[in-house]
Structure 1
Amino acid sequence: MRKLHKVNRLLVAATLGASAFAGVGLIAIDDAHAQDATSGAISGVVTDQSTGDPLPGVTIVITGTTVASQTVITDENGYYKVSSLPPGGGYLVTFYYADITVERRGITVGINKTAPVYIKLDMNQAGGETIVVEDSAPTIDPTSTSQGITLDTEYLDKIPVPGRTFESALGAAAGSQGDGLGVAFSGSTSLENQYVVDGVNTTGLTYGTSGSPIINDFIEEIEVITGGYNAEYGRATGGVVNVVTKSGSNELAGSVWGYITPGFLIAARERTPTQATSIDAQTDTDYAFDFGFEVGGPIIKDKAWFWVGFAPQFGSATTTRTTKRRTDCRQVMSDGSLSTPADQRCPATIPDGFQDGVPDTDPATGFYIYEDLDTVKLKSKASAYSMLGKINFAVSPEHQGQVSVTVQPSSDNPFRTYGNVNEQQLQRSDLQTNAAVKWTSKFNDNKTEVEAVAGLFRDNFKFASAGHARDNMPLQVLYFGNLGTWSGLGYESTATRQGCTDNAGGDPYEFIENCPDIGVGYAIGGPGSLADDTEQRLSLRLSGVQRVKAMGTHEIKAGIDGEDNTVDNLRVYSGDAFLQNLLDRAEVQAYRWVKLGPDNADPALFPNTCRDRGLDEEHACDFLSAGDAASRVTGETVNWSAYLRDSWQLRPNFTINAGVRYEEQRLRYAKFLRNSDDPLTGEHLGTNAMVLQNMWAPRLGVLYDWTKEGRSKIYAHWGRFYESIPLDINDRSFGGEVLYQQYFDAGSQCGGANPGIGGADGNGCLVDENQVPANNEVLFGSGVLVAPGIKPQYMDEVIFGVEYEVLEDLKIGLAYQNRKLGRVIEDVSTDGAQTYIIANPGEWSQDEEAALTGDYDRAKAACDGGDQAACDESTKLFDQLEQFKGIRIFDKPRRDYNALQMTVTRRFSKALYMQGSYTYSRAEGNFPGLISYDNGQVDPNISSQYDLIELLANRDGPLPQDRPHYIKLDGYYTFDFKKAGQATAGIRFRALSGTPVNVLGRHFRYGTGESFILPRGSIRRTDFDTGLDIHADYGRDLGKGVKIELFADLFSVFNTQGTFSVDENYTYLSNINPIVGGTYEDLVFAKQLDQGNGSETSSPVIRNPNFGNVAGRYSPFSARFGVRMSF
């Protein structure tokens, strides 16, 4: 069974710079303290100022605005720690010892961070006097090896963050970069992250994208962990993004705001014309605005609090659709330059020019020269609503709970511009719902802490034609025709029709084809794949913490969690089919989703016949339509994990973090397939399609603070991290996906020619669904095998680093990070794309081979004894054995990331805040990860990257994530005018290397972008780019706690609109194998492969005229204004 190669094109980025637990002797139990994913902690050591000796028995009281006061007493080492503190600033730490009282004010607590608050008490101080210390705590967490950054409300308000949701701020972390689908961290892809909101996993289930776009005004703090995380965190080989939303406090507080980005202050996007069609399209924002409010306060003071927020967002965009034609009126002069206006015969109104039957090209770029014909403006609108509510309550200081709900509906109505726009307006809608319940309890005089979190994440996505008007019509894409002909379908203007029609009256370029299509296509009819897809995660997490004294202090944390992840997807084409009309070869390719029947299938249930001529197979089948039971695919994956971690402080300034995490995944077949036989492989399908066990993930970190005050750390970390496979594989490989492709002779099987198409209308091929295609029939998908003994995908990481607060509030850091993929799960084919095996490329267990060989030997012996069923079984086992052994011949996937990061942070104090980083990194190998950037495919673990052995050549080299140099600088300064108010100026600067450019070709079975003609990244990089954003605001107190602010953000001030991506397809029309170790000069000798069997011909490769041309750019200059009133 051939694999269905489904490709999803990436979105263009919108902005730049998108141990053993040892214990000997007497053990004592102390208070339990550990920050979790939604809170932080304060810890420190109290010493005698004159002698430096630790002071036991000091009483410390922690007071904040959003939590009841908590009390702790220092141990014999003068050490203390208080946890479960909501993130934020304004904490007061009071020390009581004998008659001495000292207050430390203005302490800030971060998510999952420990704020070090050390104090030296003057034992000669007069009793009864309170000493107030206005000194913020160091920003270094001396107990954690994690790398990353924490962003609070000050950052989100005063740095010009380009978007309105938290994803737009993630690029502040060193080692991060936008990749078109999200933000990627530390050499991984953006689909390898985990996203947590208020303690609940909100990662998208199908692909692993960011699942819940919380608006920035609802957020208290964002923690971005790019490496070095402890055993509490798993199911990620990229980064962990932890978002905590705002909560109510004992004081009624809130804000009202409004933002607007007017279209007239957005620079025109630089046009990125394509060479493969006579239609260009670019989309510009008309406006984007949002407004909202958030408010929180006490329900019962010190007992219960509420917080609610509501924020609608609206936007409008104009897509400029320009039609154009090639010219034939210029000449390359003797000096190699293009003819000038004085000696050329353009524009087209001058009939006698340098016509030679060859379209004009620019000698500087090699690209065709076009002239515009007409322009159409297409308006589309979008809206989104964010609603969030939260209640916190405390039965007592030891027992606290939280309930939160988020609802986020959104919709838009875009156009498909490469086609008949009247028929190609679409509608999309999405509804996301999150709910979480959290409970924290402390027992045994606070010696034991237990936390439980239950969560729901749900997302429903719908896609159809506007108003569902064309949902009953197939989408038909016309290829390799002419826009002049397609103008006869009635949409194109008179100017376009006249300018594109060849050899009509007044055609100035009679010797060339004016407006050809070279593979982009022209869409007519329905919307294509319809969607009414729902994904849902039910999760439960339990954890406990205990501090134990044994050769120092141990903070032992253990936990267990489980997830039930499901998808319920619609598998239907509009009009029940999708058509590709290849006019150059008079062939219509019809695609239908089908369900294959078993042997002796009931004709009433399976009335159709599906054939694969290449494999000589024929099956009873049912063409799927909306409403059929098999048109809904319900997939499921069950995850569970457990961990144990010890943070062992041998001394207050020397810590060892050791832990281990265990994970399992059970990927299940779609419900309608369970307990049935696969009609293609004959395998019996049970409940579980693939079970991944023994995911042991040890973590080890060592930290030393040489200042003994929390102002420094030198640290090292090693850890193993396992991938959590998204549910796309459940839908496609374990969901009975079968696509039946029919190749019709358009001239004889699809009715008469349609003059507006330039050939037969593909819909005519579908009139008789029992018609046998003249050219070919192929079945794609399903029939997938799972290699026995398959092992989970993992990554190993090593980090060495140092951080030091050289001056008060000024921290510098230097770190080395290495990440290396150890094993990958991908599908491979060892028999030339007939059978696909989900496996670990390059390896298969000898033990599994021995076990399968034993099964074969027993079946063969029974067969020799005359058992026909055993003969069938032995034949199947022999074939599988040979295929599984073939897994070993594939190259092992490799992705090595090495980075050196230098960071500097000047925390907000005395009006100035600054954070910056410089990262030198290299990402090399033959496997980018869960996104196949090279061909745009988004199918985690089942991409085409490892499908065919002949396509593995030339894949080793600099990966798409390879940007050697990346500079980031964020900062702001606040001018205090006292009673006249405050003004703030902020900047966000990015400078980064370009990405490697590949030379890709077409494969005769898989299509475009699959063959690395030359070694990966061997010809050049895209340009080095820079971007600068500026923020300014003015705020003034109006009295009684009310403050008003006016602000403005300027984005992409340089308006460079640099290159994000280029067209890397050297050819769309010609099949070509890799030129192993070749150079650019070898391309002129390359020969095409036969479309039918892949053998080499004598014909030269047809070069894509758009090769190397810009395909995507960074955003143009824009401005955003806003107002906020807080109280």
Structure 2
Amino acid sequence: MTTKKLLIAATLGASSLLSHLVAPELAQAQSNTTGALTGTITDSKTKEPLPGVTVIATSASLQSAQTAITDEKGQYRITSLPPGQYLVTFYYADITLERDGIIVGVNKVTPVYQSLNQDAAGGEVVKITDSAPTIDPTSTAQGITIDKNYINNIPVPGRNFESTLGAAAGSQGDGLGVSFSGSSSLENQYYVDGVNTTGLTFGTVGSPVINNFIEEIEVITGGYNAEFGRATGAVVNVVTKSGSNEFKGSVFGTFQPGALTREANVAATNATSLDFNGNVAYNADFGVELGGPIIKDKLWFYVGFAPQFAKVDITRIPKRQTDCRMVMDDGTLSICNPALSTAPMPGFANGEPDVDPATGFLITDPLCGPDSPTGVECEVRSDTSRSINLLGKLNYALNPENQGQLTIQALPGHSNRPGDAGLVSTGAVIDSLVTDVSFKWTSKFNDNKTEIEAVVGWHREATEVGSIDPSLNNTPAQVLQNGNLAVWARGFGGETAETLAGCTDDIPGRADPYPNIDNCPMRSRSYRIGGPGGIANDSTERRAAKLGLIQRVKAAGTHEIKAGIDVENNLSNTTRLLSGGAILQNLVGNNQVRVQRYVQLTDDANMDPRFDKTCHTPDPNATGPTGDTKSYKCDFLGGQYGDPGTDITGNTFNWSAYLRDSWQIQPNLTFNAGVRYEEQRLRYAADLQNTTDALTGLELGKNAMTLTGMFAPRLGILYDWTKEGRSKIYTHWGRFYESIPMRINDRSFGGEAFYVQDFVTSGMNPPCGPTDPKIGGPNGEKCIEEPAPGEPQKVGASEQIIGASGVLIAPGIKSQYMDEIIAGFEYEILDDLKIGLSYQNRRMGRVIEDVSTDGAETYIIANPGEWDQDEENKLQARIDRTDDLQEKNRLLRQLKLFQGIRTFDKPSRDYNALQFTLTRRFSKKLYVQGSYTYSRITGNYPGLISYDNGQVDPNISSQYDLIELLANRIGPLPQDRPHYIKLDGYYTFDLKSAGELTTGIRLRALSGIPQQALAGHYLYGPDESFLLPRGQIGRTDFEHGLDIHVAYARKLNKNMRLEIYADIFNAYNRQGSAATDDTYAPQFALSGDEQNANPIAGGTYEDLMWLKAYDGSGNETAKPIGRNPNYRNTVGRYGPSNVRLGMRLTF
């Protein structure tokens, strides 16, 4: 153990010892699965505190009653209470007073203050129905608590807990999940029953528990204390249901039929020869849950079983271009007359496809559907999926002071996804299994003055992907482009007879209305044949344990000291497999086939016979005409499970410790101070450890990147001016570090190398063989055939190994972090009615990303914009004392590369928000929750998701790869929505003996997102170049929508209740713009020619007309850039109105 670790451990140990030596009092903490009660008992006449009052909390959620006795200040605290509704009873002398309906939330302290009349008659029980305040006066955390009432009565647009998270102020969906307070959705941490279940590969939701099994959800969007870490977004705590002393359960089901879904408004786009339209055929689930006692007050159980089924119909719409119209002198479009304009009886055909002058789109005729010549129905291919939610839980109480909980859940799933853009057989079958096991033990010692909580957990995700047709798992996927749909339909038989007839060009005996053009060219749409492409047999798992200690001591007030430690050992096993060992991109019209495959590189000294190939790549250090290529011994990785080199094992080890003191200076004044320390060790794949990197020459040890020194201080202060827990004014500052997902382990620390070969398919003796009539050009599979014995390996016209320079880690790299400031107040202006106003600022302090300082030849994982001078001095000193010339040159090159890190713009993301919240807790059948957020998110770094080009590679995205692409990236970020209004509520009408009628709403109104002007880059592909500064183009429309819940419930007998309901989503069918086409210049023009462009630094929209295209080699041409006719048009809409029907039978 290092000196620093010893200091941390000693600090935690000292705090524990101190808590025993200095006037120990009742422990007052709550965990992330339980809550607490606190308050002061006073004499109703004198207002003086009453010591010696016995306070007892009981609930159906609690196995044994929990008791506390007020101290000399009349204060009490009861901890480790499961979320639920409680009866709190006060005993003093012969006075008994009960308060019912007290709500305790997860990780919340509920204040229950009470005055007692000592003159009251003894022996009577005084019952009070006054509810407790809804404000936690001890916490600066921002967020929301979502309980069963919300889940059951608000129209939540989904069936697992992630669908509820959008209720939090400052949250929004981002395609991969829910983002909070300006961060991306991959920056959150998710806990289920106290165990981290965050997805390990990317940081998504790992265990999507169905809502019916959930007791309560806590969403912390900011201001969280030192107990929480590894997140720069939000922390989500999910507590599942438990048993009780009574047998209780339910049978439930929901069904969303396609027949109750309005027709989708398909966004108009430039026509292709094959389009698709997806519609939900059904979403359905049913289930049963049951909980009860095995031994009353001792051992409870809870079990749940819920299968889910879904089907999405993909309608395939073939289209042919037309040649029968012309633009008239007045600018209007003529009628369709397919006769040539030069014919004796002239028409409007001119040998060019028709273009609508109003939109710039090609005009097409559908070949199926009611508007087609034949009226035949379009072909429909269906994606189907099924899964099962399984949950089992045991709660055991040895006695009121010692309790344990064991939870096991599993989520097996199966999906069948036939190919849509091509042959059905190119689709995939996906099998998955998520498994969680957790055990928690809580003990209170020394008359409940000390509390220890220990948690161990195991989270595992497994996925297997293969072909719909298992025989194709060893066949490469071939992507056909720039060809003809009629040729492919005839050659492979994957299209309908109507498509074949309508697309076939002028052939004797066939009627072609447009004989002077290609009817169905496939220039902007690809067509897949062969195998599924990527196949997988992957798994990830997290083995976690944590230990926490809580104690309360007196010293100039009351101190709650909380300390703990947690460790995570994260493992991954990923397969580096492509069906058939390669992906073939066949550019038929361009006479080119691009072969892409995984390879494993080695040095010349390795005599393993499987390294019998030679891989070539440009040499970034070349100085002469003969030294422009580097060559490596390599192995072309196979495409079958278990093939050598295809199994990659990764490992990341995390540990953290924290110490927090909540100092209650006065009963209504609290100061929170804490510090969290974290370390993260990202390790090389097992087969790379303790080897020499064939690419960099570096000696690889065990750890690829070790991140230490992550001290995260947290400071907060709160003041309750009512002195009854009905108000608080607070402020908080904290630092939060990212926990890097394991995607980087597979790609950067797993030796990933991708070999790209371009073959020219024309000329004499083409390497890919003669033209295949099924394709209209050579078959790409011929490019990867093994040469005959004695023949040389096939060599492409150009070859490159992506990853051929290895991955360097900048010496002295530091962790990614964010700083946050919060200030605000909350006030319960009426019973159960709370308002709040807060300001939140989040600012990125440092980012980890990969950069390239030599034009995408070498990649360095670094902190863009900064490199420590001390590290430069160390490297320079090493160079100075190196005598080996080759080693000196290698180190000098690295020095130059590392110095280039400083030339990059420093990543920035600034979030500033004002939030107004209003909550009327469920009482008297009415619940209302609303928020208005005004926020701005600016900078040049969106987060762990690259929203602009759709890349999801946390910490190794293309955002900082090339310095020439950094121009124009500063401005409003993709998450920037200045105005966001949320309103949720429901009301229950009591119809007496006729039952109950509940109506609920979910209203959302929000600003649109910024629009950009993007173009391709010759090395990096589409949408990598920001032609104009962020936000200059404008933003999409302001959007709004309303969801409605209607339910009728009636008791069937004393213990059985039946409820039927309907959720109506997007009630007024506003299918607004969810996304627009930000591609100003597509990388491939309609002609099929490649076009790219560099940013116009600080440019304006008017400058775009002068923009010149760059070719595929990065050379500027004299050709103006071709504008995308679909630019700024809607490409994605919010879903149409639909209805979900449901029932719930509780007993």
Which residue among 428, 449, 452 is the counterpart of 1:450? 452
How many angstroms apart in 2 are the aligned matches of 1:1081 and 1:515? 35
How many angstroms apart in 1 are the aligned matches of 2:71 and 2:517? 89
Over residues 66-87 of structure 1, what are the superposed CA-to-partner deviations in whole Å (9 max), with x where a residue is unaligned? 2211111112222111110001
SS of the aligned residue for 1:997 comes to coil
Greater mean alpha carbon deviation, residues 825-834 or residues 118-127: 118-127
**Amino acid in structure 2 at the alignment position of 1:1071:** N
**Amino acid in structure 1 at the alignment position of 2:753:** V
1:742 and 2:734 aligned: no
Which residue among 1079, 1085, 1107 is the counterpart of 1:1086? 1107
Which residue among 268, 273, 284 is the counterpart of 1:278? 273
1:942 equivalent in structure 2: 956
How many angstroms apart in 2 are the aligned matches of 1:234 and 1:352? 75
Q: How does 1:943-962 map to 2 (within 5 A)?
A: 943-962=957-976
How many angstroms apart in 1 are the aligned matches of 2:1128 and 2:483? 24
2:1088 equivalent in structure 1: none
Which residue among 721, 726, 739 is the counterpart of 1:706? 721
Q: How does 1:511-910 map to 2 (within 5 A)?
A: 511-602=516-607, 604-613=609-618, 615=620, 616-625=629-638, 626=640, 627-747=642-762, 748-768=766-786, 771-781=793-803, 783-859=806-882, 863=883, 870-910=884-924
Which residue among 59, 76, 81 is the counterpart of 2:77? 81
CA contact (8 A) 1:449 1:544 kept: yes
1:483 equivalent in structure 2: 485
CA pair 143-510 structure 1, distance change in 2 beyond 3 A: same
1:500 equivalent in structure 2: 503
Over residues 269-320 of structure 1, what are the superposed CA-to-partner deviations in whole Å (9 max), with x where a residue is unaligned? 2223542632111211111211111111111111111000000111222111
Over residues 77-112 of structure 1, what are the superposed CA-to-partner deviations in whole Å (9 max), with x where a residue is unaligned? 2211111000112x0111112222211101111110
Q: How does 1:455-470 map to 2 (within 5 A)?
A: 455-470=457-472
CA pair 923-346 structure 1, distance change in 2 beyond 3 A: farther
CA pair 302-842 structure 1, distance change in 2 beyond 3 A: same
SS of the aligned residue for 2:645 comes to helix
How many angstroms apart in 2 are the aligned matches of 1:25 and 1:261? 58
1:372 equivalent in structure 2: 366
Over residues 815-856 of structure 1, what are the superposed CA-to-partner deviations in whole Å (9 max), with x where a residue is unaligned? 111111000000001111111000000000000011111000
CA contact (8 A) 1:434 1:456 kept: yes
CA contact (8 A) 2:338 2:348 kept: no
Q: How many residues align?
A: 1093
**Amino acid in structure 1 at the alignment position of 2:829:** V
How many angstroms apart in 2 are the aligned matches of 1:590 and 1:45? 74
CA pair 346-1044 structure 1, distance change in 2 beyond 3 A: farther
Which residue among 104, 115, 123 is the counterpart of 2:99? 104
**Amino acid in structure 2 at the alignment position of 1:779:** I
2:10 equivalent in structure 1: none
How many angstroms apart in 2 are the aligned matches of 1:435 and 1:348? 73
Aligned-pair identity in percent equals 59
How many angstroms apart in 2 are the aligned matches of 1:503 and 1:138? 80
SS of the aligned residue for 2:783 comes to helix
Which residue among 1076, 1081, 1087 is the counterpart of 1:1062? 1076
**Amino acid in structure 1 at the alignment position of 2:408:** V
Q: What is the TM-score of this pair, normalised by structure 2?
A: 0.93
CA contact (8 A) 2:485 2:520 kept: yes
Superposition CA RMSD, Å: 2.0
Using the TM superposition, give the Cα deviation of residue 22 of structure 1 relative to its aligned residue in structure 2, in angstroms: 15
Greater mean alpha carbon deviation, residues 367-376 or residues 114-123: 367-376
SS of the aligned residue for 1:1033 comes to strand
2:12 equivalent in structure 1: none
CA pair 25-692 structure 1, distance change in 2 beyond 3 A: closer
Greater mean alpha carbon deviation, residues 777-786 or residues 529-538: 777-786
1:362 equivalent in structure 2: 356
Q: What is the TM-score of this pair, normalised by structure 1?
A: 0.95
How many angstroms apart in 2 are the aligned matches of 1:639 and 1:107? 39
SS of the aligned residue for 2:898 comes to helix
How many angstroms apart in 2 are the aligned matches of 1:148 and 1:348? 68
CA contact (8 A) 1:741 1:780 kept: yes
1:48 and 2:53 aligned: no
Over residues 844-897 of structure 1, what are the superposed CA-to-partner deviations in whole Å (9 max), with x where a residue is unaligned? 0000011111000000xxx2xxxxxx2222111111111101100000001011
2:1092 equivalent in structure 1: 1071
Which residue among 210, 214, 223 is the counterpart of 2:218? 223
CA contact (8 A) 1:24 1:550 kept: no
**Amino acid in structure 1 at the alignment position of 2:536:** A
1:929 and 2:952 aligned: no
**Amino acid in structure 2 at the alignment position of 1:641:** S
Greater mean alpha carbon deviation, residues 544-553 or residues 358-367: 358-367
How many angstroms apart in 2 are the aligned matches of 1:245 and 1:314? 22
More RCO (CA 8 Å, sep 6+): 1
2:474 equivalent in structure 1: 472
How many angstroms apart in 2 are the aligned matches of 1:1106 and 1:434? 46
CA contact (8 A) 2:613 2:793 kept: no
2:415 equivalent in structure 1: 412
CA contact (8 A) 1:23 1:550 kept: no
CA contact (8 A) 1:473 1:525 kept: yes
SS of the aligned residue for 2:57 comes to strand
Which residue among 1024, 1038, 1043 is the counterpart of 1:1024? 1038
**Amino acid in structure 1 at the alignment position of 2:266:** R
Structure 2 alignment gaps of length 5 or more: 1-14, 369-377, 621-628, 1085-1090
1:12 equivalent in structure 2: none
Over residues 601-645 of structure 1, what are the superposed CA-to-partner deviations in whole Å (9 max), with x where a residue is unaligned? 215131111111455111111111122231000000000000001
Structure 1 alignment gaps of length 5 or more: 1-19, 864-869
Over residues 552-603 of structure 1, what are the superposed CA-to-partner deviations in whole Å (9 max), with x where a residue is unaligned? 1111100100000011001011001110111232111111211111222215
How many angstroms apart in 2 are the aligned matches of 1:508 and 1:1085? 39
**Amino acid in structure 2 at the alignment position of 1:142:** P
Q: How does 1:323-402 map to 2 (within 5 A)?
A: 323-339=318-334, 343-345=335-337, 353-374=347-368, 375-402=378-405
How many angstroms apart in 2 are the aligned matches of 1:324 and 1:764? 31
Greater mean alpha carbon deviation, residues 1009-1018 or residues 176-185: 1009-1018
How many angstroms apart in 1 are the aligned matches of 2:116 and 2:505? 92
2:139 equivalent in structure 1: 144
SS of the aligned residue for 1:264 comes to helix
SS of the aligned residue for 2:212 comes to helix
SS of the aligned residue for 1:1125 comes to strand
How many angstroms apart in 1 are the aligned matches of 2:1104 and 2:739? 41
1:121 equivalent in structure 2: 116
CA contact (8 A) 1:438 1:451 kept: yes
Using the TM superposition, give the Cα deviation of residue 648 of structure 1 relative to its aligned residue in structure 2, in angstroms: 1.0
CA contact (8 A) 1:1061 1:1111 kept: yes
Greater mean alpha carbon deviation, residues 815-824 or residues 761-770: 761-770
**Amino acid in structure 2 at the alignment position of 1:545:** I
How many angstroms apart in 2 are the aligned matches of 1:900 and 1:382? 41
Over residues 697-722 of structure 1, what are the superposed CA-to-partner deviations in whole Å (9 max), with x where a residue is unaligned? 00111111111111111110111000
CA contact (8 A) 1:1071 1:1088 kept: yes
SS of the aligned residue for 2:264 comes to coil
**Amino acid in structure 2 at the alignment position of 1:292:** G
CA pair 141-830 structure 1, distance change in 2 beyond 3 A: same
Over residues 902-925 of structure 1, what are the superposed CA-to-partner deviations in whole Å (9 max), with x where a residue is unaligned? 111111111110101111111111
CA contact (8 A) 1:25 1:550 kept: no
CA pair 332-21 structure 1, distance change in 2 beyond 3 A: farther
Using the TM superposition, give the Cα deviation of residue 1123 of structure 1 relative to its aligned residue in structure 2, in angstroms: 1.4
